[in-house]
Amino acid sequence: MSEKIVLSSGSLGYELFDVETQEISLHKSRGTISYKGANVLIGDAVKLDERGFISEILPRKNVLSRPKLSNVDFIFVVISYKKPAFSSYLLDKFLTLINSSNIKAKILITKVDLASNEEFENFKSYMSYYEHIGYDVYYTGKNSTYDLLKIKDIISEKKVAFVGQTGVGKSTLLNQLCPDFNRKIDELYINSGRGRHTTKEVVLLPFNGGFLFDTPGFSQLELKDFKPIDLAAYFPGIKEYYGKCHFVDCLHLPNTKGCQIEKAILSNMISADSYKNYCKIYEEVKINDIWKKKL
Ligand SMILES: Nc1nc2c(ncn2[C@@H]2O[C@H](COP(=O)(O)OP(=O)(O)OP(=O)(O)O)[C@@H](O)[C@H]2O)c(=O)[nH]1
Ligand SMILES: [Mg+2]
Ligand SMILES: [Zn+2]
């Protein structure tokens, strides 16, 4: 029997896509099946038994822990220029999480139509730092195609996930790429500080010989399983210096003797903004770690 890819999950079972016939069908799993401790994930390749039950999860190429999905070729971290306001802190945090899963990330800035020409030019030059440290940056917005065609080109025949804060326009972008997706989109609601998610579950959409993941946005992102000492190994721009400081247990905090990071900031190789984010996220990870040890 040919391989099937898990597109979505619901009360009736899993929607599976047959790679050979391109047909979609609904199947349940026989009992609880798992691979390396995780049950069926959207993106998994699975096998069916003779009665049509999912009986095996094939080895995964990778897994992203939040949102939970598997087997991506790369991930677009989606951040809006405005509404919600661009935050390099969130961007750095998300890139760190993806780097720790050993998945390639690209950056996608939405809603650039809300910037004046001058603001857009300034913003692009701010984002050139991220290009400099190895991330491709793409722009989209309403009323113009911006980088939409380039995006269409690089996602063809690939498995690509769009992840990011709620309301940044992930589902809108998927509809721009393919109106037939008919993804539900909504205004961003802020009720007592918490965003309301329009997309509720991870789904995989077949597209141009590949697949696209639409994912629910988050309102808060925690790096739960990180050790403070390891943060630098995954942090964008800083990871390249990991292990190069004078002391092997260097935490790269301000005024640390022999720290290469400080030197790199002085020579503009690491941005001061990103370093501020590193210090802030370091404190969060440290507090999380202390709580974990107490539990
Ligand atoms: N001006 C402008 N508005 C946009 C753009 N993209 C999306 N929006 C608006 O932003 C709001 C949220 O869009 P969604 O596509 O639902 O956002 P999402 O990221 O899928 O949100 P969740 O599903 O909750 O994670 C909607 O009102 C969209 O019309 C854009 O490029 N420019
Ligand atoms: Mg959505
Ligand atoms: Zn250091």
* pLDDT, tens digit only, all 295 positions of the chain: 678 999 999 989 999 999 999 999 999 988 888 888 889 999 999 999 999 999 999 999 999 999 999 999 999 999 999 999 999 999 999 999 999 999 999 999 999 999 999 999 999 999 999 999 999 999 999 988 999 999 999 999 999 999 999 999 999 999 999 999 999 987 765 544 455 678 889 999 999 999 999 999 988 888 888 999 999 999 999 999 988 999 999 999 999 999 999 899 999 999 999 999 999 999 999 998 888 777 6
Where do runs of H (alpha helix) occur along 15-145? 88-100, 117-132
Please report, as a single letter, which amino acid is at residue 59.
P
Spacing, Cα 52 to ligand 1 middle (Å): 38
Block residue for tokens 């739960």:
224
Residue list, CB under 5 A from ion ligand 2? 170-171, 198-199
- Report which residue type is found at 291: W
Q: For residue 236, is the peptide bond before it cis, meaning its omega torsion is within 30 degrees of 0?
A: no
In angstroms, the CA 74 to CA 94 distance is 13
* Helix, coil or strand: residue 282: helix
Cα dihedral sign for 139, 145, 147, 149?
positive
**Distance (Å, rounded) from C-alpha 131 to C-alpha 143?**
25
**Atom 30, ligand 1: residue with shortest CA distance:** 111
Closest ligand to 175 CA? 1
- Specify the residue with its C-alpha closest to ligand 1, atom 8: 169
Domains of the chain by range and CATH? Answer: 4-60 (2.40.50), 64-214 (3.40.50.300), 228-294 (1.10.40.50)
Q: What is the pTM of this model?
A: 0.94
Instruction: Find the residues whose C-beta lies inside 6 A of ligand 1.
Output: 110-111, 113-114, 140-142, 166-172, 185-188, 197-199, 216-217
Pairing verdict, β 4-10 and 38-39: unpaired
CB atoms within 10 A of CB 20: 9
The amino acid occupying position 41 is L
- To 5 degrees, how large is the angle CA 9–CA 15–CA 20? 145
For CA atoms 163, 166, 169, 173, the dihedral sign is positive
Residue 260 Cα distances to 130, 252, 269, angstroms: 19, 8, 11
